[in-house]
Chain A
Amino acid sequence: MTFKALQPLALLAALLFSGFALANGGEIAPQAGNPTEMVWQAAQQGVEGYTTSQSEFHPQLINSYDLQMLDWRNDWLSYGLFAALFGMIVVFIAFTVVNGPSKLSKGFSGKMVNRWSKADVAIHWLGAIPCMLLILSGLVLLSGKVLIEPALGTGAFAGMASAAKLIHDYMAIPFMIGWLLMSVKWAKNQIPAKYDLDWFMVVGGYINFGPFKGKHPHSGFANAGEKMWFWTLVLFGAVLSVTGTILLFPNLVEPSRALSLTVLLVHAGAAIVICAFAIVHIFMTTVLSEGAMECMVSGYCDENWAIQHHDLWYDEIKANGTLKYMEK
């Protein structure tokens, strides 16, 4: 009985969805159906009419788009960002436990070689600190409802979500400035070279066992891994900045609703890539590569670190006289 009673509604729903399919397929064949059908067809195609309401998007009756987008976001991207963050941490902890850190084979020399200017260190942290906060707040906004709320409860999650929104909005600006400055200022040192292939062949020389043990591949100012991270940051940082601007300033950009949703998905996808690389980057400098962190603290690196990891660069600055030691 109930099913029968629902049938007209089901028919309407079927009409609605056939409308979605048709709208996606492009042109709708003109139909000489009854007037009610014509009204529904027009509504499905996104017809705009007259309304006294001044609210956004109100002249349009139905805004059709692929509703599957919402499922992709919930079922894949939410878990993807979570996996990119915590999965990479677990992988790297496991790797470090098995492999151990990559030590300087001759130990620290105590002589510090200038590698980055003060401005370089400054723009690095201008991008890096917001980047970390954006990853964490983005995790709350993208994965929180499926992973954090069930784990920590509604009260805790509600507070986190509103804080994450504010952090994400405001940290976006310094990140974009830092990203732009780094992309422009550092690109000349990041051009791929022939010896980068050899770097990949020995996995960068960080492996402490097997056939790669003790290998130190040639490398210029940046090694192949650093170049890969740099260009990933340039590319996906651009995607994040453009999509983020659309989401952050809808009053200036005035995107359509379907564009905003698409942008939301692209933003999440790019964030997953950046997040995975950022975790690798942080682990490399803090745990895996002994002496690497110093570069972005003082701008200087140990001479033995420079010789072991960036021999071609070291030889070059030594030869052309630009080598500068830290003044004691």
Chain B
Amino acid sequence: MATMKFMCDTKRCIECNGCVVACKNENETALEWGIQRRRVVTINDGQPGEASISVACMHCDDAPCMKVCPANVFSKTEDGIVLHDKDRCIGCGYCLYACPFGAPQFPKKSAFGGKGKMDKCTFCAGGPNTEAGSAEEKAKYGANRIAEGKLPMCAELCATKALLAGDAGMVSDIYRERVVGRGHPAAGWEK
């Protein structure tokens, strides 16, 4: 059994926003106007120490959204992917407050429950209570590449392979190899 994780290698990310476009395109059936499940944040833009990181739902082990949700919208697959059930979402916005990564988004921003149904990255694994690959799943949650044995589109299309997706062990193996290749003494185990 895998534990699915994203990881973004800041040494490789060039802020091309290819992952954002790939995600938008792959999941566009489910995305209302203005929602993007993935974003690239650049810190120290144009200055020494500039670094870009691609961010979406991190599919946390102890997901705060899952803890705070009053309607039990969230569930975790056996691969550690955090999925949301759009039928059960009541649009309270608590997950938006609890998520440290700003992953949950709402189509509307008005008061009195006008937020609509929450949307976030599904690790391209569709949603709960829908048949994998069905039109219903596509309309509600977007792609289900995991069911087809594929990884999320954002990572698959990353031109520099900065964004890695997959089993945590494999992702960290790849990253460790890179760190060794970059000549870091003790392969990142010491400062």
Binding site for B on A (CB under 8 A): 2, 5-9, 11, 33-39, 42-43, 47-65, 67, 70-71, 73-74, 140-142, 144-145, 149, 154, 157-158, 161-162, 164-166, 169-170, 248-252, 257-258, 260-261, 264
Across-interface contacts of A47 in B (CB, < 8 A): 43
Cβ–Cβ contact A55 & B35, under 8 A: yes
Binding-face segment, B105-113, B138-146, B154-162: B105-113
10 CB-based A-B contacts, threshold 8 Å: A39-B49, A39-B53, A49-B43, A52-B40, A55-B34, A55-B105, A57-B102, A58-B39, A61-B41, A61-B55
Across-interface contacts of B101 in A (CB, < 8 A): 61-63
Cβ–Cβ contact A35 & B49, under 8 A: yes
Across the interface, B64 reaches (CB within 8 A) one of A70, A144, A157, namely A70
Cβ–Cβ contact B11 & A249, under 8 A: no
Contact with A along B114-125 (1 / 0, CB 8 A): 000000000000
Chain A: minimal CB distance from B72 (Å): 5
Across the interface, B67 reaches (CB within 8 A) one of A5, A34, A71, namely A71
Q: Does B29 belong to the interface (CB within 8 Å)? A: no
Chain A: minimal CB distance from B93 (Å): 7
Cβ–Cβ contact B172 & A8, under 8 A: yes
Q: How large is the interface on B (under 10, 10 to 19, 20 to 34, 35 or more residues)?
A: 35 or more
Of B71, B168, B173, B179, which is in contact with the most chain A CB atoms at under 10 Å from its CB?
B71
Q: Does B36 belong to the interface (CB within 8 Å)? A: yes
Q: Give bound CA distance, A52 to B18, whole Å.
A: 12
Across-interface contacts of B88 in A (CB, < 8 A): 158, 161-162
Cβ–Cβ contact B64 & A39, under 8 A: no
3 A-B pairs closest in CB distance:
A5-B169, A49-B43, A53-B39
Across the interface, B172 reaches (CB within 8 A) one of A6, A56, A65, namely A6
Cβ–Cβ contact A73 & B68, under 8 A: yes
Q: Give bound CA distance, A289 to B134, whole Å.
A: 62
Q: Does B5 belong to the interface (CB within 8 Å)? A: yes
Q: Does B149 belong to the interface (CB within 8 Å)? A: no
Q: Which of B16-60 contact A (CB under 8 A)?
A: 17, 20, 34-36, 39-45, 49, 51-53, 55
Given contacts A2-B169, A6-B169, contact A51 B70 (CB under 8 A): no
Given contacts A8-B172, A35-B51, contact A52 B72 (CB under 8 A): no
Across-interface contacts of A166 in B (CB, < 8 A): 113
Across-interface contacts of B111 in A (CB, < 8 A): 248-252
Across the interface, B40 reaches (CB within 8 A) one of A34, A51, A145, A252, namely A51
Across the interface, A142 reaches (CB within 8 A) one of B70, B96, B168, namely B70
Cβ–Cβ contact A50 & B42, under 8 A: yes
Across the interface, A49 reaches (CB within 8 A) one of B42, B87, B172, namely B42
Cβ–Cβ contact B109 & A34, under 8 A: no
Across-interface contacts of A34 in B (CB, < 8 A): 184, 191
Across the interface, B102 reaches (CB within 8 A) one of A8, A33, A49, A58, namely A58
Across-interface contacts of B90 in A (CB, < 8 A): 161-162, 164-165
Q: Give bound CA distance, A217 to B109, whole Å.
A: 55
Cβ–Cβ contact A169 & B113, under 8 A: yes
Across-interface contacts of A250 in B (CB, < 8 A): 93, 109, 111
Q: Does B176 belong to the interface (CB within 8 Å)? A: yes
Across the interface, A51 reaches (CB within 8 A) one of B42, B113, B173, namely B42
Given contacts A52-B20, A55-B39, A64-B100, contact A36 B72 (CB under 8 A): no
Cβ–Cβ contact B68 & A43, under 8 A: no
Q: Does B92 belong to the interface (CB within 8 Å)? A: yes
Q: Give bound CA distance, A71 to B66, whole Å.
A: 11
Q: Give bound CA distance, A35 to B188, whole Å.
A: 12
Q: Does B69 belong to the interface (CB within 8 Å)? A: yes
Cβ–Cβ contact A261 & B97, under 8 A: yes
Cβ–Cβ contact A50 & B188, under 8 A: no
Across-interface contacts of B152 in A (CB, < 8 A): none
Across-interface contacts of A149 in B (CB, < 8 A): 72
4 extra interchain contacts, Cβ-Cβ under 8 A, other than A42-B43, A73-B68?
A: A39-B53, A55-B35, A58-B41, A60-B41
Across the interface, B173 reaches (CB within 8 A) one of A5, A73, A74, namely A5
Given contacts A249-B111, A250-B111, A251-B109, contact A39 B98 (CB under 8 A): no
